[in-house]
Amino acid sequence: MRIDRLKLRNFKGFTEFDQRLNRRFMLIVGQNGTGKSNLLDAVSVAFGAFLLGIPAARSRTIHRSEVREIARNYDGLLEFQQAFPVLVEAEGMLQSNDGTALEKCVWRRELLSANGRTTSKEAAAIRSKAQAAYEAITGGQDVTLPLLSYYGTGRLWEEPRQSSKSKRTSRFDAYKNSHEARVASADLLAWVERERLLELETDQPSKRFLAWKKAVEACFDSPVSVSYSLSRKRIEVAFAELKQVVSYDNLSHGQRNILSLVGDIAFKAIILNPHLGSDAVQQTSGIVLIDEIDLHLHPRWQRTIVPALLRAFPSLQFFATTHSPFIVQSLLEGSLLNLDDMEIDDETYNLNLMDIVKDIQSVDVPERSAVHVQQVQSATRFLELARAAGDVASRKADEDEMDRILDTEIEDPGLAALLKIKRRAERER
């Protein structure tokens, strides 16, 4: 399963949105407030339509808080009016009922009024495919299911609500946290422990656990070996270069973030499609959303994480957001959606960082800090005033402005002393 085109109307900050999407990786960039995370929410609504056909899963609706608001000013009184209808429409490819090919599918969900519910009539096509897959599986057939998962910025700290069951009893349980935007680490740890216990019982290595381990290790920024200690009941990571073993709880935030994220994706692929065995990680298709993919990562790691994810999960489609130029630099062409311009940028591959920061992220004079730029601007303004000619009244205003600049804007004592000397010299001319 993948989404090739997304259309929105009145969804959060989007009045209208219609965009073709990269089938493998779509990185969303833009200034704060342009709607990067909102776009991930919209994709979550879109892929959630599949779950309408899975009785054991919970689909994603359009929330009333996600309706675009229009501000109106009536004699100084600001009022907000909600704009309807709210539309999320997707065009994509889904596995055929016999599992032999991909078929094109178009579906939509709408919220028509403040008191209405999210419609599902126009999502009948994708719903029927999910129902057919569900019925085939419960009837004893092997059908490959798509992985659908959302990882928000709180993924490292916020644990999803736990059900009363402590163990997974169905492959459909992989869908229970699809929209939670966080990692169910307790479920992941329980599965890893069961796989290790199974190894002891059968006296054979678990190919599923080895596939999970391979995916996680491939996404680290240095050679590591990931294992689970049954006696200590914890995941441990051995760092080859440091010759050190560190428990999961003692990993850095960046290391825990990647282990939890990649580990959860691989774990869900394996339990969703047990008939694929150790190939489930490589062969499971689906959609993964990651908000701030660079979260807690050193720039060196930021440069490698996207290629690593694409290698570890060659059948998945990723949507991610970032503010990192290092992430942008790692992309192939056609993978960047810049919300500042509302278009796909096809010329990002192998750009240098300065061009990315200036041309894509629109940062002025990135060679210097914002404080340095402000100091230069203030000093330039001061010198212009010092050289200016005029009548007594205008000179008095200029003197007051120069005093203000010295008192409130010039923080470097040396620069302030030089400006005072220049001011005195101009007075004596």
If pLDDT is split at 50, 70 and 90, which confidence band does 164 have? very low
Residue 177, pLDDT > 50, answer yes
Question: Are residues 298 and 394 both part of a single domain?
Answer: no
If pLDDT is split at 50, 70 and 90, which confidence band does 161 have? low
Question: Are residues 334 and 287 both part of a single domain?
Answer: yes
pLDDT at res. 368: 81
Residue 134, pLDDT > 60, answer yes
| pLDDT tens, residue by residue, 207-253 | 999 999 999 999 999 999 999 999 999 999 999 999 999 999 999 99
Question: Are residues 327 and 404 both part of a single domain?
Answer: no
Q: Provide the mean pLDDT of the chain.
A: 92
Task: Answer for the pair 105, 125: CB distance below 8 angstroms, yes or no.
Answer: yes
Question: Are residues 95 and 21 both part of a single domain?
Answer: yes
**Residue where a domain terminates, one of 312, 334, 360:** 360
User: Is 203 inside a domain boundary?
Assistant: no
Ramachandran quadrant class, 277 (left: phi over 0; alpha: psi -120 to 50; beta: rest): left
**Residue where a domain terminates, one of 322, 341, 360:** 360
| pLDDT tens, residue by residue, 16-51 | 999 999 999 999 999 999 999 999 999 999 999 999
Question: Are residues 91 and 162 both part of a single domain?
Answer: yes
If pLDDT is split at 50, 70 and 90, which confidence band does 292 have? very high
Those residues whose C-beta lies under 8 Å from the C-beta of residue 425, and which sit 6 or more positions away, are: none
User: Is 253 inside a domain boundary?
Assistant: no
Residue 167, pLDDT > 50, answer yes
How many other CB atoms sit within 10 Å of the CB of residue 351? 17
CATH number of 127's domain: 3.40.50
Measured between alpha carbons, how far is 75 from 110 in angstroms, rounded to an integer? 34
Question: Are residues 28 and 168 both part of a single domain?
Answer: yes
Please report, rounded to a whole number, the percentage of residues in the chain having pLDDT higher than 70: 95
Please report, rounded to a whole number, the percentage of residues in the chain having pLDDT higher than 90: 76
Residue found under tokens 């994810």: 309
DSSP alpha helix (H) spans, 297-369: 299-312, 325-329, 353-355
Question: Are residues 283 and 421 both part of a single domain?
Answer: no
**Token pair of 8, please?**
């929105």
Those residues whose C-beta lies under 8 Å from the C-beta of residue 363, and which sit 6 or more positions away, are: 357
User: Is 194 inside a domain boundary?
Assistant: no
Question: Are residues 146 and 12 both part of a single domain?
Answer: yes
Question: Are residues 30 and 164 both part of a single domain?
Answer: yes
How many other CB atoms sit within 10 Å of the CB of residue 176? 21
Backbone CA torsion sign across 150, 151, 152, 155: positive
**Residue where a domain terminates, one of 360, 389, 413:** 360
Question: Are residues 300 and 391 both part of a single domain?
Answer: no
Question: Are residues 407 and 285 both part of a single domain?
Answer: no
Residue 163, pLDDT > 60, answer no
User: Is 167 inside a domain boundary?
Assistant: yes
User: Is 224 inside a domain boundary?
Assistant: no
Residue 337, pLDDT > 60, answer yes
Residue 3, pLDDT > 90, answer yes
Can you name the residues that pair with 149 across neighbouring β-strands?
288
For 423, the domain range is 370-428
SS3 of residue 236 by DSSP: strand
| pLDDT tens, residue by residue, 60-103 | 999 999 999 999 988 889 999 999 999 999 999 998 866 678 89
87-99 exposure pattern, b = at least 16 Cβ within 10 A, e = fewer: bbbbbbbbbeeee
User: Is 418 inside a domain boundary?
Assistant: yes
Q: How many domains does the chain have?
A: 2
**Token pair of 134, please?**
């569900």
Cα→Cα distances 303→11, 257, 308, 328, 360, Å: 32, 16, 10, 8, 17
| pLDDT tens, residue by residue, 262-277 | 999 999 999 999 999 9
Question: Are residues 72 and 176 both part of a single domain?
Answer: yes
Long-range CB contacts for residues 334-338, cutoff 8 Å, separation at least 24 = 334/22, 335/22, 335/24, 335/25, 335/26, 335/27, 336/27, 336/29, 336/360, 337/19, 337/21, 337/26, 337/27, 337/28, 337/29, 337/39, 338/29, 338/30
pLDDT at res. 390: 75
Measured between alpha carbons, how far is 129 from 107 in angstroms, rounded to an integer? 12
User: Is 273 inside a domain boundary?
Assistant: no
User: Is 232 inside a domain boundary?
Assistant: no
Global pTM reads: 0.88
